[in-house]
Amino acid sequence: MRPTFQLKTLAVAVAAFSVASAASAAGLDRSGQDITAFFQDGLYAETVYTYIDADVSGKDSANVVPTSNTYVEGQDTGDIAESYDFFRYGVKADINDTFSVGIIYDEPFGAAAEYKESNFVAQSGDTREATITRISGGLIGPSSPLGVTSFAQAQATVNALQRKIGLGGTLTPQEQGALTALAPAVGIVNGEFGTAGQNTNVEVRSENLTAILGAKFGANKEFQIYGGPVAQRIQAEVKLRGLAYGPATGYTSNSNPNMDYGYIAGMSYSKPEIALKAALTYRSEIDHDLDVSETYPLAGTLAGNPAAATQNSNYRITTPKSVNFDFQTGLNPTTLATAKVRWVPWSDFAITPPLYNEVSKRSYGPNGLNLVDYDDDQWQVELGVAKRIAPALAVSGTVGWDSGTGDETTSLGPIDGYYSLGLGAKYNFTENWAVSAGGKYLWFGDAKGRLPSGKIVGDFQDNDGYILGAKLSYQAKQGF
């Protein structure tokens, strides 16, 4: 006899495919940090696989003069979004009719982007003299107000002035002005040709392991409070290449994996007779102290010492707190309505590697620049309906919206939120085992790519992507 769905256990037929990343949602959000496995009845376990493929392309800026912020439409960037996949695992069990425990693994934050064309790739087909003339905005060339007409002359002038400082000499105001003007241009050329042909690339990976203990209370055990510790591991690699990045071209950072800890806390309410479940979940910030290796060609040029271009140090990344609201209710004995709302304060988040920040202080004041930051907080909303159409088969549909983190945004993730449409199905092939599959199509918001200095270096429009996923789940009643 074929198993049947009961209204109180009917759930969205598709796994919770929260769409997030530098290539497909606000900030570095990936998984949406879903914990709905913990709210399932009885003994429950799931394995979820998600694959994201986005097309994010646009135009770079033909204006590569670092002191000019005017955007001028340039070359095609090609598709910068790398395909990305990840797993989520969850298991939950009732100790008795009051207490429940659960463990959930997911990959909450990440980025995968690479530029393979345009001014985001370190050039190799031009000369140093032609390049320094192009980027200097008239400072170097035939009409130079400093009388410097070539890269070789600019390099020699910078070296001579730095030697004078190294020998204890004092620069005149004119010499200091020349060094301040010429050193960044020389640094750009050295960074560009030192990494000739290389692509801009960013890779961020994270893992979460969340342990949850819940306690039910109320006349019918309809309320539950829950919480527990969260272990989080994160690592990152960034390579900035090409004249689009101006003085930062050639910059590389590798942040070694770091494990640190936070917590989760929340409260839920259920009314089984109408399949109503509602849960509000808070996740704390998590501070990571990462060992980082940085290479910044401009730092060596400014110091007059090539060894100064490489530095090993330590810095802090604080992954953001978040609030998730999950809701479902039965509309009739075979239909379930769902809603998910997520808030993440990405405006509080920043990546500030020490060498990058220290060099930026020379031009941008005592606080310097962050490598990555965001203007706005993220709001994500998804509404869905699941319908049982046969004793062991249900289908679902969802619509979603993500606010993004603002336009303009980082050039390493140039989209401004999205709208989504999803479809899926769930099939119970035994009384306890089920398989779910589905997908989403996403329309990304247009965005301008901005450097930390405020310079617009790209315009990205009419982009989209899709997500595919599958879930294997097991559920069994527990009697007490």
Which of 67-71, 84-88, 249-253 has the highest mean predicted lDDT (pLDDT)?
A: 249-253
Residue whose entry in the numeric block shows the structure tokens 């010499």: 175
Q: Which of 59-63, 144-148, 238-242, 373-377 has the lowest mean pLDDT?
A: 144-148
Q: In terms of Cα–Cα distance, which of 286, 101, 280, 291 is closest to 206?
A: 286
pLDDT score for 146? 78
Pairing of strands 409-410, 447-450: parallel
pLDDT of residue 238: 94
Q: How does pLDDT run across 12-62, given as a tens digit for each residue?
A: 333 333 333 333 456 788 888 999 999 998 999 999 998 989 899 999 999
pLDDT band at 126 (very low <50, low <70, confident <90, very high): confident
Residue 8 banded pLDDT, cuts 50, 70, 90: very low
User: 462 or 141: whose pLDDT is higher?
Assistant: 462
For residue range 94-115, what is the model confidence (pLDDT) as tens digits? 999 999 999 999 999 988 899 9
Q: Describe the crossing of helices 128-135 and 173-194 by its angle, rounded to 10 degrees.
A: 120
d(CA 254, CA 388): 49
pLDDT digits (tens, 9 = 90+) for 203-235: 999 999 999 999 999 999 999 999 999 999 999
pLDDT of residue 25: 58
349 has pLDDT over 70:
yes
Q: Which domains does the chain have, with CATH numbers?
A: 7-122+195-476 (2.40.160.60)
Cα-Cα-Cα-Cα torsion 268, 271, 274, 280, nearest 10 degrees, comes to -10
Cα–Cα distance between 372 and 44 in angstroms, integer? 39
> What does each C-alpha distance from 191 to 56, 81, 237, 435 come to in angstroms?
26, 24, 18, 51
- Look at 10 and 323; give whichever has higher pLDDT: 323
The confidence band for 10, taking pLDDT boundaries of 50, 70 and 90, is: very low
Residue 9 above 50 pLDDT? no
Burial class from Cβ neighbours inside 10 Å (0-12, 13-18, 19+) for residue 273 reads exposed
- Angstrom distance (rounded) from CA 402 to CA 383: 12
| Crossing angle for the helix pair 151-166 and 128-135, to the nearest 10 degrees | 80
Residue 147 pLDDT level (bands cut at 50, 70, 90):
confident
Is it the case that residue 464 has pLDDT exceeding 90? yes
Q: Is the pLDDT of residue 377 over 80?
A: yes
Rounded distance, CA 63 to CA 56, Å? Answer: 21
Q: What is the mean pLDDT of the chain?
A: 88
Mean pLDDT of 140-157: 82
pLDDT in tens, 251-283: 999 999 999 999 999 999 999 889 899 999 999
For 433-461, how does the pLDDT look when each residue is reduced to its tens digit (9 = 90+)?
A: 999 998 999 999 999 999 998 999 999 99
